[in-house]
Structure 1
């Protein structure tokens, strides 16, 4: 069962570009319809050539005057009747009528393969389809209360004036990170000499000679020759040094995390819509008033 998707675009040219995109994605041109008023076409640099319009039917809105490239039976009203039947149409239909009155373009796509519905919807959004609910909210802020079939369609000048845009700007804060040098350490290994002193006890041996007087008779042993040798000794300090590792210095890095709150100011612009009152008792010359 075929499903019909509807996309609303600011201009006829945008709708045609969307139709081209759908064609590139394999949607037959015969399943794509673009609906717009003649004044909307004139507001888009005049009528399109036959080559520009090839394969896409352009339907004139119910209240526009002039020739069209191709008429569909019943105009846009007939399109919605075929879509929703003769029962009471939903409120959105009136909003779509109003969008055509204001010079927008409506693109409808008949999708016969249900598996492609999401892809077609995404293609319409990518091509710049307008959110009808947001647009209706904008109209209501300017006094729109619903579609009125007695109100004429916008002229090309009114369409151009309605396209004046006020940009709504919003700054976003993007906080990133960059690495900077905060210093460091440099470790040197140098040889140093420190004077030290140690006390040591040294021992010395010296020969002693002692003479003492004796008065006794001499014996044969006393008359023998001989000698006695006594050697003298002395201790001297001996210095020996040994090296031992008493400490190690480990050089490395460790990381830590901290959270810093960045306080900044972002700017944005707000567009306010103010309703301007008209003169009391004044009527638009193009609106008919029924007399009782």
Structure 2
């Protein structure tokens, strides 16, 4: 959405400075217009028409009639008018910039001009024609009000209708999020203790005292001889094997249920009271009754 903001300045320099600042903050230059008194032209006298002069220049700007007269008087007195068409997001910043560069308080300026004798009619503006007086002596405003009343009531030959309105309950369906289930797998460590039986071999060297005669077979004992024995020992060897020991799955089951919806609906009722013969006509041909009111 866009809105048009209007400001009046005493000098053309202040107006151009404000325009430059507005363009600098991102407002398109084509959306900022400046109208000075010298450009619009000061016209006085009865020969001025609605399309020319100061008033014709202001006609391009959409504003209330009294504001148009006020700004036209400001231009007549040498002022400069600036209008900016901005997006809603720039509105507050635009107001600040216009005030920073010395925009005129038009309420105070109007009060000052009226003290000087200004009547609220800008020079060169078209003079509004007086409203003709009706032959019956009523004023134009009263005549307009009477016309509205007659139109509201209808003519004697016309037909007015009272609509009968009834609300209907429409029940639909929509999907909503009622919660989420998440399954996540991750690795953890735990201590494991296992017992294993290990076999150890130990070599012992024993020496004993012997006293016997040497036999012929023992003659080789004087030769070099070496006896060796190797100790063996088992050690625990650890290896790991990964096996699938279980599975976790997610599945959804769809079911249907019936839910009762309770609400209220409105409707209008029309009652007809006919006081012409103390009889009530309900709209059905040939049906009459007492004068009690009864909804249709």
TM-score (norm 1): 0.38
Higher relative contact order (CA 8 A, sep 6+): 1
